[in-house]
């Protein structure tokens, strides 16, 4: 007799099993992903992933699909972020993603979550359609860049200093675009021991900054005060990053496509677009 598949939360899951399912699920993905136990642990902390709000599909004792969710407060109420969704190849096409959401939605309503969000590669048409059927709509496009920085060695346009703590009041005043979940201030606060923050100062006034991970070479945030743009401050910050990472490839993920100036700046530095993603959102109805 066939035993029906079971969906349950991942509160008691062994993380090693979760790593295996994620890696198998993404082994033939548009952009293959290989997760390690340490990377998963770091992701859980940085992105506020709640295993009680994350789901797995089990065929007997075998987990065949999973969905990880982060949870945060916002001005509009609680928001959950789909940090990863994967189904192993042999179990695709069975509607398991929809079933996981069917299981999850009542749990989200219990804790008064107001909105769900996720990111999906623009070329993954099957996934986009699946999410649209569940009620998600595209909120914005996000571009991901990589490559070696073509930037001259730092000049003395401004004074560069490492900053020990995040000065969010100043940083936010420089923004034209809002960082995605992975690059948000809360994610960086959660993982600040891995971050290097460099500030650009003009007459002791902070006029620009960049936050990056010297080990992974990911650049999480960068911005320059509007009055100090097009003066070489941004290039100076990236020159510092380039020297710090030994002129190796860097990664700038989830840049809001609406900012032509930011995309132009990155391309002028020699970075190329690797992939593009849609950020999709869905409201959680109270009823």
Per-residue pLDDT tens over the stretch 16-25: 999 999 999 9
Average pLDDT over residues 256-280: 97
Average pLDDT over residues 2-14: 87
How many CA atoms are closer than 13 Å to the CA of 208, on its beta-carbon side? 24
pLDDT of residue 3: 53
Average pLDDT over residues 121-146: 96
Average pLDDT over residues 150-178: 92
pLDDT of residue 153: 75
Average pLDDT over residues 50-77: 96
Core vs surface per residue 42-73: b (16+ CB within 10 A) or e: ebbebbbbbbebbbbbbbeeebbbbbbbbbee
pLDDT of residue 286: 65
| Domain 145-276 grouped into CATH 3.40.630.30 | yes
pLDDT of residue 34: 87
CATH fourth-level superfamily of 6-135 = Gcn5-related N-acetyltransferase (GNAT) (3.40.630.30)
pLDDT of residue 245: 97
Average pLDDT over residues 138-156: 91
Taking each helix axis from N to C end, the angle separating 96-110 and 125-134, rounded to the nearest 10 degrees, works out to: 40
For 84-95, how does the pLDDT look when each residue is reduced to its tens digit (9 = 90+)? 999 999 999 999
Residue 279's DSSP bridge partners are: 119, 140
For 231-246, how does the pLDDT look when each residue is reduced to its tens digit (9 = 90+)? 999 999 999 999 999 9
For 181-229, how does the pLDDT look when each residue is reduced to its tens digit (9 = 90+)? 999 999 999 999 999 999 999 999 999 999 999 999 999 999 999 999 9
- Confidence bin at 100 (pLDDT 50/70/90): very high
Q: For residues 146 and 98, what is the distance between their CA atoms, to the nearest angstrom?
A: 33
pLDDT exceeds 50 at position 1: no
Average pLDDT over residues 74-79: 92
Q: Are 163 and 200 in contact (CB under 8 A)?
A: no
pLDDT exceeds 90 at position 180: yes
**Region(s) of the chain under CATH 3.40.630.30:** 6-135, 145-276
């Amino acid at each position: 007799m066939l035993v029906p598949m079971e969906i349950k939360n991942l509160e008691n899951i062994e993380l090693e099993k979760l790593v295996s399912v994620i890696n198998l699920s993404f082994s033939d993905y548009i952009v293959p992903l290989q997760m390690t136990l340490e990377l998963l642990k770091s992701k859980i902390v940085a992105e506020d992933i709640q295993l009680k709000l994350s789901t797995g599909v089990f065929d007997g004792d075998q987990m065949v699909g999973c969905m990880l969710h982060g949870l945060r407060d916002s001005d509009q109420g609680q928001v959950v972020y789909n940090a990863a969704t994967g189904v192993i190849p042999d179990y695709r096409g069975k509607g398991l993603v929809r079933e996981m959401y069917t299981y999850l939605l009542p749990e989200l309503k219990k804790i008064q979550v107001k909105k769900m969000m996720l990111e999906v590669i623009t070329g993954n048409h099957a996934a986009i359609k699946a999410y649209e059927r569940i009620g998600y709509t595209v909120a914005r496009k996000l571009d991901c860049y990589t490559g070696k920085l073509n930037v001259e060695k730092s000049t003395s346009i401004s004074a560069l200093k490492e900053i020990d703590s995040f000065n969010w009041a100043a940083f936010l005043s420089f923004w034209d675009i809002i960082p995605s979940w992975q690059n948000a201030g809360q994610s960086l606060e959660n993982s600040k021991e891995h971050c290097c923050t460099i500030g650009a100062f003009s007459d002791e006034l902070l006029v620009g900054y960049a936050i990056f991970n010297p080990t992974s070479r990911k650049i999480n945030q960068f911005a320059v005060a509007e009055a100090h743009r097009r003066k070489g401050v941004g290039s100076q910050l990236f020159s510092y990053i380039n020297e710090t990472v030994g002129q190796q490839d860097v990664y700038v993920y989830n840049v809001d496509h609406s900012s032509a100036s930011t995309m132009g700046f990155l391309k002028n530095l020699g970075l190329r677009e690797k992939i593009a993603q849609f950020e999709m959102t869905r409201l959680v109805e109270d009823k």
